[in-house]
Structure 1
Amino acid sequence: MADEVRSLASRTQQSTSEIRTMIEQLQTGVRQAESNIKDSRSIAMTTAEEALKANEILESIRGAILQISDMNLQIATAAEQQSATSEEINCNTTNIRDISQEVSNGAVEQVGYAKLMKQQVQEQGIQLNKFKV
């Protein structure tokens, strides 16, 4: 019976030691899990902050794209207006050239009439000189 008690005490001591080792391992695992959870939480918060910053940057880019689109529309409108103005200037230049040509032709015709009138005035002067009183 004493051997049984010693055997039982030895097994109890061995079991207690095994349980203590298991508890220590469990506590170490819990501490490591707690540390991992804290690290994961920190990483998650950092990721959330970076996601917010990225969202702000994307919104800024979106705003810039809208501005560029508006500017492109304004540039296209201005280019269309300039094209129309250039076409109008071209037509006006052509009209001025045509009118200038008509004026030039008229001036040449007027010079011819002036020479003819001068000649007629000279002939009339000669004819008047014949009628001396």
Structure 2
Amino acid sequence: MIYAFIRSYIGGFGRALMDFYIANSFVINAIVLIYGLLVYLAHISYLKAYRYSLEKLGVNLAPLEKNKPAKIPTRLDFTKLEWREIAKTYWFPLIAPPRSLWLSIKTQAVIQHYFGEEQITAMLKQHREKKD
């Protein structure tokens, strides 16, 4: 009864779309779940690369995890960052920044874009403002 009620409200295109989904729901749901897993692994890849780059810059990560103020150096030496090493911090070949569903292949140009001087300084500034 609910099925007939819903079909009466969604119109011709909606019925065709619903029938297509019912016929192919396993494939559609599998694609969505696999993409969700890829995004999750890409976020982990970003986090590992971010932590590695902070370690190379001399930022102490231990206080950050305990919600205490971290000692962040005022002058960061970005020449210490080795982009290939940052890309190798996690085995997964894709990367995505937090709250992003767009996946990027972990190339040197992408790593430099995500972890350049402006981006890391902005992230650390945002972290300082949260703690104050």
After TM superposition, the score normalised by the length of structure 1 is 0.29
Query: Which structure carries more relative contact order (alpha carbon 8 Å, separation 6+)?
Result: 2
- Bigger CA radius of gyration: 1
Structure-2-length-normalised TM-score: 0.29
User: Larger % of helix: which?
Assistant: 1
